[in-house]
Chains A and B, each alone.
Chain A
Amino acid sequence: MKRGLITWDKTELPPSVFDARLAKVRDALAKQDLPALLVYSDVWRSNEGRHLTNYMPYWNRSLIVLPREGAPVLLCGLSPRVYPWIKSVTVFEEIRPASKLVPTLLQLCAERGWTKLGVLDLARLPHEISLPLQASDVKTSDVKLELTDDAEIAMLRRAEQMAREILTAELPKGVGLTDYQFSGLLERAFRRAGAEDLLLLFNTGNSAPRPARGAMLGDKYSVAVALEYRGHWARVMQGLPL
């Protein structure tokens, strides 16, 4: 779960980056003659929404609506008490409370006169969202987007560099520890450096890497780190001896 530093450093990702990404969405919508794009987002599946708006639900789930004309709208399962914080780290100016996501979406469609919607990766919508949406009067179309751009690649490089540098520095410290103890050491190091999320897997023999389970690491082991930095994931694996 996300419990690291979630922020928006505008020197790393200027608002112009998101302006360009949203312009790309509008172009795609224009090509398919669609009034808006729907992007599903939850704790685990937040990458697309994060790329387009810098929003990531640390808990619960949300629907992101990107109109062809007008500003993005967030339909949010989180409490309005955290909306000021959400606004401070995302492009959103309009956030609507949505304990029931699809009815709130359909209300928005009715208000805007939308009878159809583009959905990013339609087949990957959770069933609970897809079923009532497909049963509604709003027609949905699958939309594919190429999300990679120069800013994305630069952030991925930064995440990869952070993962590699910290793991290289910390890796020898695991000798003689259990994988639990080494997990604690790595969690501290990565999260102090600003990691939002972290997945650590350990390998002490010939099996596949696995989560910590209290095993001794000995002096030959490898660690796979999947690190999320400002919404960008990097995966690095290193073994000892280096």
Chain B
Amino acid sequence: MAERGWDSMLLYGNAWRKDPFRSLVNFNFSGDHALARLSRSGEVAVTFSDPWDSEIASASVQPEFVRAFIAGASAVAGLEFMEERFVAACGALPASATADVEELRRVKTADEIGYIQRACELADRGYQRFAEAAEPGMREFELVAEVEGFLKENGAEDNFMLIASGGTEVVGMKPPTDRVLRKGDSITTELTPQVNGYYAQICRTLVLGDPSPGQLQSFAIFSEAQQAAEDLIKPGITAAAAARAQNDVFRKYGYGDYTGSKYTRVRGHCLGLYPDETPHILEDVDYVLKEDMVVIAHPNTYLPLSGYMVFGDTMLITETGNTRLNRTEKKLFTK
């Protein structure tokens, strides 16, 4: 704040993007909006739009939520998500502190790494439950209900989860439908449980029945691509290099066309208080990875061999390399 000349900074969160707020005050508010105000001398004050949150956090209740609280703020982390009516209440337009705060968030503390390790353990157990529960005749949303219940009963605050099932017609994941699972289906999922504010992710593919030669061939490519990233990622490596290492494996086997935005989104991303933190692992992102960042490398994409397939693990970047935080076996799951 001193470097930027900011006297007071706000950290804003709403029900979707709680992360800027929680990066300073790790309180899981359940209402619509929360604000923390940090002075340059280090004083912190908080306010919430929901009186239940205020009561639990012993925060002062602002009758108009923000007007008196935010007037005169120099900068706001989360300004981009803030509703215009709140921005107007600041008076002069504040600076955005979002990028600065996100950069501070990328390198995790020991406590934060501990929370992410717990989230990884939960992701592993959640995937085990996913694989146990999936069976022909079940509907996608029933499988998700089971996994969601499992994660919540074991302490997840939240979970980001997508799913898809079927064959080569499947081009991506989405929320669950009422499609009935069938023998021969490839079932893809990414589980992203949240523990004490922090998300970890696992991506795996499960085949109901014996995998086809196409599914096996496809998984071999995904496995090699993910391993290429895992072998490469360490401090000093760029996100672009981590993406290229994965994409080059697809290119080697003649599937380079399937590494672009028509068939896939990203080759990984960072994790923390938001399940899709930047930098994204993409060939045009030159961000240099640092020790104690937490990333997932997942070469998830569509291939004509198998349809959409996913495979990836959460990794902690260490002084000399990385440590895989998920313990789930790296294989194409079958049952």
Query: A residues engaging B (CB < 8 A)?
Result: 1-7, 42-45, 58-59, 79-82, 85, 122-128, 130, 180-181, 183-185, 187-188, 191-192, 194, 199, 201, 207-212, 214
B305 partner residues in chain A, CB cutoff 8 A: none
- Of B15, B16, B53, B265, the most chain A CB neighbours within 10 A belong to B16
Q: Cβ of B257 < 8 Å from any Cβ of A? A: no
B82 near A4 with CB under 8 A, answer: no
Q: How far is the CA of A82 from the CA of B175 in the complex (A)?
A: 10
A1 near B159 with CB under 8 A, answer: yes
Q: How far is the CA of A183 from the CA of B160 in the complex (A)?
A: 16
Total chain B interface residues with beta-carbon distance under 8 A: 51
B153 near A81 with CB under 8 A, answer: no
B84 near A188 with CB under 8 A, answer: no
B144 near A3 with CB under 8 A, answer: yes
CB distance from B19 to the nearest CB of A (A): 13
A2 partner residues in chain B, CB cutoff 8 A: 175
Residue of B nearest to A88 (CB): B177
CB distance from A74 to the nearest CB of B (A): 15
Partner of B141, one of A5, A122, A199: A5
B82 near A126 with CB under 8 A, answer: yes
A183 near B84 with CB under 8 A, answer: no
B160 near A1 with CB under 8 A, answer: yes
The majority secondary structure among interface residues of chain B is mixed
Query: B residues engaging A (CB < 8 A)?
Result: 14-16, 28, 30, 32, 51-53, 55-56, 79-85, 87-88, 141-142, 144-146, 148-155, 157-162, 171-172, 174-178, 261-263, 265, 302
CB distance from B142 to the nearest CB of A (A): 6
Residue of A nearest to B172 (CB): A81
CB distance from B229 to the nearest CB of A (A): 21
Pick 20 A–B contacts, CB within 8 A, sort by A. Answer: A3-B148, A3-B159, A42-B16, A59-B162, A125-B84, A126-B81, A128-B79, A128-B81, A180-B154, A184-B150, A185-B153, A188-B145, A188-B149, A192-B142, A194-B141, A201-B30, A208-B52, A208-B55, A210-B56, A211-B28
B145 partner residues in chain A, CB cutoff 8 A: 4, 187-188, 191-192
A4 near B142 with CB under 8 A, answer: no
B84 near A6 with CB under 8 A, answer: no
Partner of B152, one of A125, A127, A180: A180
CB distance from B195 to the nearest CB of A (A): 11
A180 near B155 with CB under 8 A, answer: yes
Residue of A nearest to B82 (CB): A127
B149 near A123 with CB under 8 A, answer: no
Q: How far is the CA of A43 from the CA of B32 in the complex (A)?
A: 12
B142 partner residues in chain A, CB cutoff 8 A: 192
Sorted nearest first, the 5 A-B pairs with minimum C-beta distance are A184-B153, A191-B145, A188-B149, A128-B80, A81-B172
CB distance from B61 to the nearest CB of A (A): 11
A4 near B16 with CB under 8 A, answer: no
A180 partner residues in chain B, CB cutoff 8 A: 152-155
Residue of B nearest to A190 (CB): B145
B263 near A211 with CB under 8 A, answer: no
B141 partner residues in chain A, CB cutoff 8 A: 4-5, 191-192, 194
A184 near B149 with CB under 8 A, answer: yes
CB distance from B224 to the nearest CB of A (A): 23
B52 near A209 with CB under 8 A, answer: yes
Q: How far is the CA of A1 from the CA of B174 in the complex (A)?
A: 12
Residue of B nearest to A199 (CB): B30
